Amino acid sequence: MNEFDLIGRYFARPARTALLGVGDDCALLPSPPPGEVLAVSVDMLVEGRHFFAGSDPRALGHKTLAVNLSDLAAMGASPAWFTLALALPGADAAWLAAFSGGLFALADTAGIELVGGDTTRGPLTMSVQVAGHVPAGGALRRDGARAGDDVWVSGHLGAAAMAVQHRAGGIVLTDEMLAVCAARLDWPEPRLALGLSLRAHATAALDVSDGLVGDLAHICEQSNLGADVDWLSVPVDPVLQTLPEAARQRAALSGGDDYELCFTAAPSARSAIDALSDELGLPLTRVGIMRPGKDVTVRDAAGHPLDTRQGGFDHFSPS
Ligand SMILES: Nc1ncnc2c1ncn2[C@@H]1O[C@H](COP(=O)(O)OP(=O)(O)OP(=O)(O)O)[C@@H](O)[C@H]1O
Ligand SMILES: Cc1ncc(C[n+]2csc(CCOP(=O)(O)O)c2C)c(N)n1
Ligand SMILES: [Mg+2]
């Protein structure tokens, strides 16, 4: 199988909404509908950094696209197209069939079309760039939070980080716990429907990829505010309930790989957001409040600040 057989066999599909898809020097894409703009993001997954060697290729196909769709969701954008850059150590037919199967299963569910990419030999690395549509002026940016807004989080936090720790050999989870945590790490669900609905309610949003404390700090910086988070309100994944408090705090506040949405909204939106939670069948939990200041402070039941100096996941952290 040469490079072009590989692309033709596993990645080329007839163009649907693109004017020209896989196969030429560039894809040709129609302009956004009137009143809408393009939302664009790129994310890379590197073996040994974002996933462990030997990971299930179907799950890798899913996650490569899912983490990018999560950024579109966080922006309130609807998915349109993506490109895929791959570095592969070799052309393994079974690996490629599983990888592209996982990728296209999610692409079809999300209604996003692969329009091009790049394939090279090299250490296993994949990068997807997504493009979506969002009404001009309607995107969920990081700089729109206001003092007095509630801070909300979707779903549950912390399980994926425990699976990373288990696979890295730092802890040993029971088989039952590992099954739940590994599913959260390997098969994240981008919160696309939530992102679209939040355009009506949220003042700011982002996806929690690096951990709640580190990511909420980005909303704080860009909105020129601080945030107070109540630890007891944080929706820690129920699977972590038997773990020591310090481990639960580290995983849920600083672990990362959650791919939930953190957003701010005025208190007047509370009942609408509760109704949205019921409609989507997805927990939406109020965890804190935006206030004047700079930092994110997480307080325990007694009101004492927790030590969150670890912050969020950082590829270049010295420790
Ligand atoms: N090499 C780079 N060149 C230009 N911009 C970059 C580069 N790396 C990151 N950025 C930009 O910096 C910002 C933060 O990047 P980051 O990858 O942390 O995004 P994120 O959304 O916070 O995380 P994630 O992609 O995991 O959801 C984004 O706006 C991103 O586009
Ligand atoms: C092997 C292995 N080691 C560590 C982790 C944890 N991890 C890696 S990158 C990242 C943040 C999001 O990435 P980015 O900021 O690049 O989008 C997290 C939480 C993992 N998933 N696999
Ligand atoms: Mg993001």
53 alpha carbon, closest ligand: 2
Q: pLDDT tens digits, residue range 122-156?
A: 999 999 999 999 999 999 999 999 999 999 999 99
The SS3 assignment for 118 reads: strand
Residues 95 and 198 in one domain: no
Residues 159 and 294 in one domain: yes
ipTM greater than 0.85: yes
Q: pLDDT tens digits, residue range 74-90?
A: 999 999 999 999 999 99
Return all residues near 123 (Cβ < 8 A) that are at least 6 apart: 46, 47, 87, 89
Give the distance, in angstroms, between the CA of residue 264 and the centroid of all CA atoms in the same chain.
17
Tally of domains in the chain: 2
Mutate to test the pocket of ligand 2, among 164, 171, 213, 215 (most ligand atoms within 8 A of CB): 164
Q: Is residue 171 part of a domain?
A: yes
User: Domain range holding 160?
Assistant: 150-299
Q: Is residue 84 part of a domain?
A: yes
For ligand 2, atom 11, which residue shows the shortest CA distance?
210
Measured in angstroms, how far is the CA atom of residue 209 from the centroid of ligand 3? 6
Confidence tier at 258 by pLDDT (50, 70, 90): very high
Structure tokens at 152: 């909300």
C-alpha 60/C-alpha 69 separation (Å) is 14
Residues with CB under 6 A from ligand 1: 43, 71, 207, 209
Q: pLDDT tens digits, residue range 277-312?
A: 999 999 999 999 999 999 999 999 999 999 988 888
Q: Which of 184, 151, 193, 192 is nearest to 279 (CA)?
A: 193
